[in-house]
Amino acid sequence: DSGVTQTPKHLITATGQRVTLRCSPRSGDLSVYWYQQSLDQGLQFLIQYYNGEERAKGNILERFSAQQFPDLHSELNLSSLELGDSALYFCASSVEGVSDTQYFGPGTRLTVL
């Protein structure tokens, strides 16, 4: 158990819908990262937040957005969902976000039908 929690574990929804994935980092970790893992795209870094502010941005679509709240939990919002958005979404956390170890949550499996 990494100490990072993600909810829900599984999510099934329809095209065009909007969903919110939630992540709670390990106690004391200020950085939160979001990743998408799909069969055709592999593991893709989406975005990083550090202490509430965006620190790094990867291949995150405009239909996706994220934020980190004052209590350091983070949410990833996915809207206008398409079949290709079906993937495993990981959240990770670290203390500083530079060279520190990233601890991954168990992931949220999103299926878009």
Partner 1 sequence: AQKITQTQPGMFVQEKEAVTLDCTYDTSDPSYGLFWYKQPSSGEMIFLIYQGSYDQQNATEGRYSLNFQKARKSANLVISASQLGDSAMYFCAMREVTESGTYKYIFGTGTRLKVLA
Q: Would strands 108-112 and 10-13 be described as parallel, antiparallel, or unpaired? A: parallel
- Cis before 70 (ω within 30): no
Contact letters for partner 1, residues 7-46 (x by CB under 8 A) = --------------------------x-x------xxxx-
Nearest CA-CA partner of 105 in 49, 25, 41:
25
Q: Please, which residue, 31 or 72, has the CB nearer to partner 1?
A: 31
- Candidates 18-26, 65-73, 78-86, 104-112: pick the segment binding partner 1 (CB under 8 A): 104-112
Q: How far apart are CA 32 and CA 52, in angstroms?
A: 9
Residues that bind partner 1 (CB under 8 A): 2, 33, 35, 42-45, 48, 55-58, 88, 90, 92, 97-99, 101-104, 106-107
